[in-house]
Amino acid sequence: MLIGLVAKEEGKRPARRFDKAKDVGPTVRHGGVEVNRQDAKSAKGKGAWAPVFSITPKVAKGLLRIEAVRTEVAHIPLPPPVEAELRRQARVRSTHFSTRIEGNRLTLDEAERVIQDDRVIFQERERDVSEVRNYWNARLRVEEWAEAGRVVTEDLIRRLHALVEKGTRARPTPYREGQNAIRDAGSGALVYLPPEAKDVPELMSTLVAWIESALRTDIPVAIVAGLAHYQFVTIHPYYDGNGRTARLLATFLLHRYGYGLNGFLSVEEFYARDLPGYYAALAIHPHHNYYMGRAEADVSGWIEYFTGTLANTFEAVAVEARRLVKAGMKTEPACLRCLDRRARTVLALFARKERIGASDVAEVLGLSDRMARVLLKAWTAEGWLVVADPSRKARAYELSATYRQYMDGLSAMTGG
């Protein structure tokens, strides 16, 4: 069995390899219902995906930890600008570490620069820059879809992959039409052979159907998200971008069904810091061929890893939230409490910038530049913004003294 290898997809960039998880007992869940292991195997017929797994003590403990932190964080009072900055940091780290898992060479600081400024490029690393920007935009879209109440469909998955691979203007990506394979980057040895292209449409259809069905049962959201992640990378429906899309699909499900932790979630960082464990957990069968046992394998080991890692991520968020409270956040000025939602969103921009322009406001609020200029003029009249550069082409705004003092204190506490 291959252990600890870095692999590559044929004709593509380096990807990753998988390993085996241990068997965890005779009683399993088959499509969400506890049954005997042998009955589960015989029940798996063509045309439906019914994952075999157990709610082991380790899984149960992870789920309890997740619920406890979810409740705690929901009741920690954080000012909107602090929430906005923590959310931004989570998105940046999610983007950096998810792309890094797939071999992206940008550092965290470089990725942040690329995200903040479209003009930033790094010579001979143009693909890395493109991947980071695409993932950032895909992460934002995932949060938008979740907030809008979208559900998982094959069209949503195709659109998500298009965002990851090609960017915001790309059309939904069709599934691969040929065979792909994951090989060891050093030796070239075959590590995993995904299902044939002719089987991909049915496998993806049954995955989506299972997600929809599972969410109507008592299967915890964390398990649904974890199994969606697992089955997507197992099917490997595209030549490239499968890992990034799988992680974003799981993120979408967590956000959509109440486990996005207010946007502070960045589980990809934990995967990136434990790559051997991540790949070993995904490899739940020793055979490299999908058709030689992987489709029927018990996936409890992966669920243990996923829920445990998610619980660790949740607890790290809680620690940071408690730190901010203990640091003694300043009480919001009375005038700040009068700001509406759009004004508060724009105020959060100053946690990272000294000045903003109409284009910044338009982008963060999803408005036209003309409407952004109207709002900036109104906010200047209200006194919380002042004109820093009055020139027509490069007009810029900064916070008035009272607001600047407040934001500086928040930035210091959040590490901004």
Residue 396 belongs to what H/E stretch? strand 396-399
Tally of helices (H runs) and strands (E runs) in the chain:
16, 9
What value does the mean pLDDT take over residues 239-254?
Answer: 97
Predicted confidence at residue 338, as pLDDT, reads 72
Residues 238 and 382 in one domain: no
d(CA 307, CA 254): 12
Position 406 in a domain: yes
pLDDT at 57 over 80: yes
What value does the mean pLDDT take over residues 9-14?
Answer: 41
Angle of CA points 175, 179, 182, to nearest 5°: 105
d(CA 108, CA 92): 8
Predicted confidence at residue 46, as pLDDT, reads 53
What value does the mean pLDDT take over residues 73-83?
Answer: 81
Res. 108 pLDDT band, cuts 50 70 90: very high
Res. 178 pLDDT band, cuts 50 70 90: very high
What residue has token string 């995932």? 142
CATH number at residue 90: 1.10.3290.10
d(CA 167, CA 231): 24
Identify which has the larger pLDDT, 120 or 288: 288
pLDDT digits (tens, 9 = 90+) for 268-300: 999 999 999 999 999 888 888 999 988 889 999
pLDDT at 184 over 70: yes
pLDDT at 138 over 70: yes
pLDDT digits (tens, 9 = 90+) for 13-50: 443 333 323 333 333 444 444 433 333 343 344 568 99
Beta strand 33-36 pairing with 27-30: antiparallel
Residues 318 and 341 in one domain: no
Please give the model's pTM, rounded to 2 decimal places.
0.76
Predicted confidence at residue 329, as pLDDT, reads 54
d(CA 123, CA 371): 36
d(CA 227, CA 215): 12
Residues 230 and 374 in one domain: no
Beta strand 190-192 pairing with 27-30: unpaired
**Among 297, 322, 347, where does a domain finish?**
322
- Dihedral of CA 215/217/219/220: which sign? positive
Contact by Cβ (8 Å): 152, 212: yes
pLDDT at 60 over 90: yes
Dmax (CA) of the chain:
75
Predicted confidence at residue 231, as pLDDT, reads 97
Q: Residue 25 — φ and ψ, nearest 5°?
A: 130, 170
Predicted confidence at residue 84, as pLDDT, reads 78
**Among 322, 351, 368, where does a domain finish?**
322
Residue 6 belongs to what H/E stretch? strand 6-9
Position 328 in a domain: no
d(CA 320, CA 307): 20
- Number of independent structural domains in the chain: 2
Mapping DSSP to helix (H, G, I), strand (E, B) and coil, where does residue 388 land?
Answer: strand
Residues 307 and 191 in one domain: yes
- Look up residue 281 and give its two tokens: 């957990």
pLDDT at 325 over 60: yes
What residue has token string 């470089």? 110
Residues 243 and 349 in one domain: no
Among the ranges given (15-24, 144-153, 237-246), the one the predictor scored with the smallest mean pLDDT? 15-24
Position 239 in a domain: yes
**Among 293, 322, 351, where does a domain finish?**
322
Among the ranges given (30-34, 59-63, 251-255), the one the predictor scored with the smallest mean pLDDT? 30-34
What's the one-letter identity of residue 257? Answer: Y
Position 229 in a domain: yes
Angle of CA points 31, 33, 39, to nearest 5°: 80
Residues 109 and 247 in one domain: yes
Predicted confidence at residue 90, as pLDDT, reads 94
Residues 296 and 344 in one domain: no
Q: Residue 89 — φ and ψ, nearest 5°?
A: -60, -40
Residues 73 and 198 in one domain: yes
What's the one-letter identity of residue 320? Answer: E
Residues 274 and 399 in one domain: no
Alpha carbon separation from 106 to 16, 55, 86, 92, 266 (Å, rounded)? 18, 39, 21, 12, 18
What value does the mean pLDDT take over residues 204-215?
Answer: 96
What's the one-letter identity of residue 296? Answer: E
Position 76 in a domain: yes
- Look up residue 166 and give its two tokens: 């090609």
User: E-assigned strands of 78-221?
Assistant: 182-184, 190-192
Res. 406 pLDDT band, cuts 50 70 90: low
Cβ-Cβ contacts under 8 Å for 263 (sequence gap 6 or more)? 83, 86, 87, 90, 91, 143, 255
Position 331 in a domain: no
Residues 251 and 363 in one domain: no
CATH number at residue 343: 1.10.10.10
Residues 285 and 138 in one domain: yes
pLDDT at 12 over 70: no
Residues 253 and 367 in one domain: no
Burial class (CB in 10 A: 0-12, 13-18, 19+), 266: buried
Position 327 in a domain: no
What's the one-letter identity of residue 72? Answer: E
Q: Which domain holds residue 378?
A: 336-414
Whole-number percent of the chain with pLDDT over 90: 58
Q: How would you label 290-319 residue by residue, b for 16+ Cβ within 10 Å and e otherwise? A: beeebbebbbbbbbbbbbbbbbbbbbbbbe
pLDDT at 303 over 90: yes
